């Protein structure tokens, strides 16, 4: 991939990131043998860089500056470089899909450590693309730290878990206000049977 082509992808995906994920929390609910479980993720300006796989030059001071340059169309060839191992190109291939995790993610699992160069903890995705997350220092939210052109079944511990629901909110909101996905055949009201989940989800009339 040429850097000029990478700029085009980065610019398009920055716009998608702003439209779908920027300054949002996402709640992912999944099924396990022990019942319903969930985790929350946060998407801030600085996280966009980690999903792209590009390296920054001295021209760009912070990861949030990189995002703003991509978004405004001011990213130049001198601002970044593609990694020589080919991982940047692989990430950019799936980046447009990654920008709408609330639509494409169908499974979740714990990273199995199979890639010596990769550090991440939880992975959400499908058989063609994934996004990895690491737990923040606050111990509550996970942050996205990588995009992967991989089959989730090949890089997570078994069994992988089916995603049952995905909700979204603005970071300033206390409750999740937007329902993005509920799996076919799932009764959404079952989510409210988990006390912690019920406190996060929109209030329903009883």
Separation between Cα atoms, residue 167 and residue 13, nearest integer Å: 21
pTM strictly above 0.85: yes
Q: Going residue by residue through the chain (206 aa), what tens digit of pLDDT does each one get? A: 889 999 999 999 999 999 999 999 999 999 999 899 999 999 999 999 999 989 998 888 789 999 999 999 999 999 999 988 888 999 999 999 999 998 899 999 999 988 878 889 999 999 999 999 999 988 889 999 999 999 999 999 999 999 999 999 999 999 999 999 999 999 999 999 999 999 999 876 65
Chain centroid to CA 30: how far?
15
Cα→Cα distances 171→40, 44, 201, Å: 11, 9, 14
Instruction: Render 136-182 in DSSP notation, one character per residue.
Output: -TTSSEEEEEEEE-S-GGGTBPSSPEEEEEEEEEETT-SS--EEEEE
Separation between Cα atoms, residue 58 and residue 49, nearest integer Å: 15
Instruction: Render 60-94 in DSSP notation, one character per residue.
Output: --SHHHHHHHHHHT---GGGEEE-TTSHHHHHHHH
Separation between Cα atoms, residue 94 and residue 121, nearest integer Å: 20
Separation between Cα atoms, residue 110 and residue 132, nearest integer Å: 9
């Amino acid at each position: 991939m040429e850097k000029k082509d990478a700029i085009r992808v980065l610019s398009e995906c920055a716009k998608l990131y702003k439209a779908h994920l920027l300054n949002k929390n996402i709640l992912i609910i999944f099924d396990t043998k022990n019942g319903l479980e969930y985790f929350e993720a946060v998407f801030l300006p600085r996280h966009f860089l980690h999903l792209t796989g590009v390296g920054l030059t001295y021209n760009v001071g912070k990861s949030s500056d990189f995002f703003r340059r991509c978004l405004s169309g001011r990213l130049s060839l001198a601002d970044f470089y593609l990694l020589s191992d080919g991982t940047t190109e692989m990430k950019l291939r799936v980046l447009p899909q990654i920008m709408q995790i609330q639509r494409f993610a169908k499974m979740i699992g714990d990273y199995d450590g199979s890639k010596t160069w990769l550090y991440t903890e939880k992975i959400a995705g499908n058989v063609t693309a994934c996004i990895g997350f690491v737990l923040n220092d606050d111990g509550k939210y996970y942050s996205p730290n990588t995009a992967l052109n991989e089959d989730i079944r090949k890089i997570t511990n078994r069994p992988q878990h089916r995603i049952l629901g995905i909700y979204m909110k603005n970071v300033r909101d206390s409750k999740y206000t937007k329902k993005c996905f509920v799996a076919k055949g799932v009764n959404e009201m079952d989510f409210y049977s988990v006390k912690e989940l019920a406190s996060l989800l929109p209030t329903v009339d009883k």
